[in-house]
Amino acid sequence: MTPTEAFAAIPLAAVCCDSNFDLEEAHILKEQLIHRTPYRTMTPVAFGELIDDLLHHFPRDHWQELIRQAVPALTVEQQEVAYGLATQLVFCDRVVKPEEATFLTTLGNELSLPPGRAAQIKEVLAMLQRDVLIGEPGA
């Protein structure tokens, strides 16, 4: 797996881990990737083919095998950002399903990040997704 494939595979696995690839998650995944190198220089067809090729891994390998293949292809810095993107996608609907929590734990254990770093990333992204103005005047 190339680094380009691997970096996209991790957040893609996050949106597929609960067997529900919804439009909001798909949109956020696309938006997060197409503004980064090398995805921003891909044609829409090439980007779509990349995602389709990665999705073909799921029936055969399931997400655990996909992340096991992806992680070694990435540097520690790339792993950290990919984990952040995956975490953001899990929290984007403000509901973390048990399958998604399992995904984040499993992914965090597979990464080569310093101890506690995955937990820090998860904590910050969970905080950023809180809907804190509920009930406020003008909200």
Domains of the chain: 3-128 (1.10.3680)
CA–CA dist 56, 60 (Å, integer): 7
Within a 10 A sphere around the Cβ of 39, how many other Cβ atoms?
Answer: 17
pLDDT value at residue 139 = 63
Name the pTM for this structure. 0.89
CA–CA dist 66, 1 (Å, integer): 10
Helices and strands, number each (H, E), in the chain = 7, 0
Mean pLDDT per 10-residue section of the chain, whose length is 139 residues = 96 87 82 95 95 80 86 97 94 88 95 95 91 76
